[in-house]
Amino acid sequence: MPPLPRCAIVREVGLRDGLQSIATVVSTERKCAWVRTAFAAGLREIEVGSFVPARLLPQLADTADVLHYAKTLPGLSASVLVPNLRGAERALELGADLMILPLSASHAHSLANLRKTPDEVVAELGRIRAARDASGRRTLIEGGVGTAFGCTIQGEVRPAEVLRLMQALLDAGADRVSLADTVGYADPAAVSRLFEQALRIAGDRLCCGHFHDTRGLALANVVAALQLGITRFDASLAGIGGCPHAPGASGNAATEDLAFLLESMGVDTGLDLEALLALRAQVAGWIEGEPTHGALWRAGLPQTFCPARARA
């Protein structure tokens, strides 16, 4: 096995990618408790919500409040998803550490979900960059290239198109980019091929892998990207997220399982697994009746488990 990075960052996206996919509305108070407890468990990057119109995603209508709270935690990078310049302006106004602009490399998916072509999203990123520069804020801009391994509407998404759009996002002013397997079509070999090519273009500006576990391969895909030196992965507690095209199907990689994978392999995440499992139980309680996922929570940590940090 190729040598692995010594450290990796797990970015919690359950408050955004998770909650946006389920009907239950979690209260602002509980979302803040989630952020607080996740921070206490060692998470230092949390996507707290999305600046989309509240009528589209009422579950995330309180994103400004959650962001406001997250900013009180020293050393926490609080990110938000922004679908357009309007959302970016709110993120800048409220001082988000990072804003993520999603671009779907599948034209069909892009039109269906964002009502824009991928190249129109690239142009929007250019406007967001101009707004950021004019604002004097330090908010980072991440271009998140989704459906990077295929799409449930369009089917195949050509790697050359994914790479072209990633390059275009960087050219338009993205500080960094990430690749997402939005629908669980990726496999470790495909991840290895695409991330290797993407690294050649973006270098360390390729900052994150986002793998859905729709078909059970998320963690194997993480290892494939990790072997190439990718050191940031999105995940949501209890694997919430789901897929609108496959009711009950798994969503994001489960934060607690991903952390267990990394720590077991000796890759330091700075996370307290027992604390994460306790928070997972709390979150699962708040969304009772919604499908949750993951394996570690049932079995518990191995008796022999030793965090990466304790082995050094």
Interface positions with a second copy (CB under 8 A): 1-2, 4, 150, 152, 155-156, 183-185, 187-190, 192, 213-217, 219-220, 222-224, 227, 243, 246-250, 254, 257, 260-261, 264-266, 294-296, 298-300, 302-304
- Containing 145, the helix (H) or strand (E) segment is strand 140-146
DSSP letters for 175-196: SEEEEEETTS---HHHHHHHHH
- Spatial CA neighbour of 143 closest among 78, 210, 193, 188: 210
State which amino acid sits at residue 44.
Answer: R
Query: Of the two residues 70 and 296, which places its CB atom closer to a second copy in the complex?
Result: 296
Least CB distance to a second copy at residue 257 (A): 4
User: For residue 98, what is the enclosing H or E element?
Assistant: strand 98-104
Catalytic residue chosen out of the listed positions 151, 208, 243, 306: 243
Q: Which of 46/261 has CB closer to a second copy?
A: 261
CB of 247 to a second copy, least distance (A): 8
Distances from the Cα of 278 to the Cα of 31, 38, 96, 174, 239, angstroms:
15, 10, 27, 36, 15
Place of tokens 């979690």: 26
- Closer CB to a second copy, residue 63 or residue 227? 227
* Closer of 34 and 195 to a second copy (Cβ): 195
151 among known catalytic residues: no
Tell me the closest approach of the beta carbon of residue 69 to a second copy, in angstroms: 31
Backbone angles phi, psi at 269, to 5 degrees: -110, -10
Q: How far is the CB of 163 from a second copy (least distance, A)?
A: 18
Which residues belong to the active site? Answer: 243
